[in-house]
Amino acid sequence: MSGDGPRRGPALIAIVALLLGGVVADAVVHEPKAATASARPVMPTAGPDSALSSTWYCPLATADKAGQASGTVVVSNPTRHRLNGALTLFTVQGKPVKVDLSVPALSRTSVREADHVQAPFAAAQVDLDGGNAVVEQVVSGSLGDSITACASRASTQWYFAEGNTSKDAVLLLSLFNPFPDDAIVDLSFTTDQGRAVPDAFQGLVVPGHAMLVVNIGDHVRRRDEVSTTVSARSGRVIAGKIQTFSGGGHKGIALALGAPQLGKAWYFPDGFVTEGVTEKFHIYNPGSKEAEVQLSFALEQGAAEPFDITVPPASRYTLTASSESRIPKGDAHAVTAESTNGVPVVVERTVDSLSPAPRQGYTDIVGAQATATDWVLAAGGTTETFDEWVIVVNTSRRTAHVDFTALANGQTLAIDGLQDQTIPPGQRRGFRIGDHIKRPDLPMTIQSTTPVVVERGMFRVGALGMASAIAIPER
């Protein structure tokens, strides 16, 4: 979707090929800065370099090389010392499988789950003997590719603003319990036809050191809009979803980690609509008070009046940006969704792109809840068949000066033409990375003089496949 005009994106089947090179060079050599003022991250966040250990949780992929969501876990070590540890794979049944990890300084390691277990679904836990690591999950298959940050903590609550169980759509929800004791979980839903609390999804037992995957469409049938709340009566879990579309002209796959808590502000750096592209923003208010939410669009050219939206208690609202006349076609934009009356919500953005749009596929991301001056992209690369865009929105009141650094063969490489990029207050810029550097293995850091939010888009060239993800901030 990244938008500076219509563009083609790359053969994302290359994502797995790019990542499976084993240990590749990627690094961050600057001292991390505070990502937010909060001591408790509200989104996946890299811990400080001084931490004695770090743990990441990747809740869902398929452990099948021929599956629609074949998973690869990417572990980046941006420190100047080796990080040792283990990646443990959990399935619905069977014992966990542990894989030793040793990630050299300024490098990354990629692990394909199907190389170590064969199962319909797998979750992963990454334990390292130091901080400042970054972990992402990549899934790839016949419906395209998707990328998301893994969770840096477990939670008793998880929220998803969007889902679809209509014909030719499948919505899978993973509940991952990495702890020894069982967790008891309830699921509730708000759909385009009202609230649903199926008995079959109450008191779900998620065994210790295991995962449970449920097909939401088994009990919430043929719904075009489904918001989900995950509530653990006991224990803590990590929740993720995979949404697929495989018919009716719509094809694609999206992997998303849930939001562990509601928020009053959500940031989406990327946005672009043209013929064939349907961009939607989904707002879910699971609380007991009415939420007043304003969606503000920062255009790269011109201006647009914000949208003021009322979301009643225990309900949801979808704004189809591509159908709004005040959002000009062909003009890239960033979006901030802010609760103006202080009632927290969760917001997701979906993009369904069909011909004659320049690229095809489906993306679904939960917005960022934090701003930061330092961000890390673990997965990624640029080739003739694989395109990558990085989009930065300046959320501060001061001009941002932004530097892009490639992490190459254990050393940093300032990317030519992407140094001291100036972004005025409240504006966004999109950067096509392949115009500046060609590397199949290209983890990066983005450093700014003021707080910003960073999103990455990766696209197959001339084929089905779009993947969008919020970068991971450093604390």
Instruction: Give me the domain span that covers residue 136.
Output: 1-261+371-475
Looking at residue 475, its pLDDT comes to 83
Looking at residue 40, its pLDDT comes to 59
Q: Which residues pair with residue 421 across a beta bridge?
A: 402
Tokens at residue 264, please?
């009053």
- pLDDT tens digits, one per residue of 111-145: 999 999 999 999 999 999 999 899 999 999 999 99
Coil/strand/helix, residue 115 = helix
Asked if residue 150 is part of any domain, the answer here is yes
Residues of the chain with confidence (pLDDT) below 70? 1-40
Asked if residue 337 is part of any domain, the answer here is no
Residue 16 has φ and ψ, to the nearest 5°, of: -65, -45
Asked if residue 127 is part of any domain, the answer here is yes
What's the Rg (C-alpha) of the chain? Answer: 20
Q: Where are the beta strands (DSSP E) in 78-156?
A: 83-90, 97-103, 107-112, 119-128, 134-141, 144-149
State how far the Cα of 106 lies from the Cα of 76, in Å rounded to an integer.
8
Asked if residue 94 is part of any domain, the answer here is yes
Looking at residue 14, its pLDDT comes to 42
Tokens at residue 12, please?
């994302």
State how far the Cα of 63 lies from the Cα of 60, in Å rounded to an integer.
9
Looking at residue 177, its pLDDT comes to 98
Looking at residue 30, its pLDDT comes to 30
State how far the Cα of 103 lies from the Cα of 86, in Å rounded to an integer.
10
Asked if residue 324 is part of any domain, the answer here is no
Nearest to 362 by CA among 464, 292, 268, 445: 464
- pLDDT tens digits, one per residue of 183-231: 999 999 999 999 999 999 999 999 999 999 999 999 999 999 999 999 9
Asked if residue 32 is part of any domain, the answer here is yes
Asked if residue 247 is part of any domain, the answer here is yes
Residue type, 80: R
Asked if residue 290 is part of any domain, the answer here is no
In Å, how far are 160, 167, 226, 308, 420 from 191, measured between CA atoms?
A: 12, 15, 4, 21, 45
Structural domains in the chain (count) = 1
Q: Are 241 and 214 in contact (CB under 8 A)?
A: no
Tokens at residue 26, please?
């990627």
Residue 67 has φ and ψ, to the nearest 5°, of: -75, 165
